[in-house]
Chain A
């Protein structure tokens, strides 16, 4: 039986041998997954789409260097994340890093507290408010934390795969995912009515 990774590698080898149509098949397979990832980093859909297109162009140009040491999709995701980061920088937007200062800034996010003041009794807080809080907390996360949790929770990558995509040790992946969850959980806490002394 051929695994997904082996199937991708066969297509990659066909592109490397001069078959352009094989790359179209890879585009067809990964365009929506790549959009899902990139749209979590670049929020404007049109801009995200530009980043996706640029990612595929870069991947096509670099494919002759690809040896298959890692899975094609982890390599492609890495290009996508780098392209998104570069896009944010050239747009003059802050591409947050995982510095302590950024983490503190993320932890200072207080929309969840504001939500409690919108005349909505805690007992009937709608799931939409919870979803809003999760998404707002996500957007406030430093880019490294956001990327790590998206790759895990949405893309379903293993820590090893994420370490390849993000070019960092597995321990750092574990820590980034945990920190992302902690920050989001802290913002959710007022809505879920979890006493603070139960979490510390």
Chain B
């Protein structure tokens, strides 16, 4: 990765508040130049535009239809303590 691209990656993480301590000085230095400031501005503009886009509303009756399906689902008891659970816990148990 070229230096300018790497600098923009530092800035991307910096604007998310996710810069590792070891990279903080490099990120701040990257932000000092015009290219860094431009990346900072463009990346923030992208985020603002994404957040501004309208989200489709759930249709009328969505909750009722879901409630009807949920009511038909058997309520299964929590697994007993001590039952084997794969490493990774809930992440592994995530249905696909």
Contacts and interface: CB of A to CB of B under 8 A. Distances in A.
Interface stretch (A61-69, A93-101, A103-111): A61-69
A39 B55 contact: yes
Interface string B30-55: 00001100110011011101111101
Nearest to B33: A198
A142 to B, nearest CB: 16
Nearest to A130: B49
A154 interface: yes
B22 interface: no
A143 interface: no
Contacts of A182: 5, 8
Given A153-B50, A177-B12, A177-B16, A66 B93 contact: yes
A153 B47 contact: yes
A27 B75 CA distance: 16
A69 B94 CA distance: 12
A56 B70 contact: yes
Given A35-B56, A182-B8, 10 more contacts: A20-B71, A52-B62, A57-B73, A70-B90, A78-B94, A153-B46, A153-B47, A154-B51, A178-B8, A178-B12
Interface of A: 16-18, 20, 23-24, 27-28, 31-32, 35-36, 39, 45-46, 48-49, 52-53, 56-62, 64-70, 75, 78-79, 82-83, 86, 130-131, 134-135, 138, 149-150, 152-154, 158-159, 164, 167, 170, 174-175, 177-178, 181-182, 184-185, 188, 192, 194, 198-200
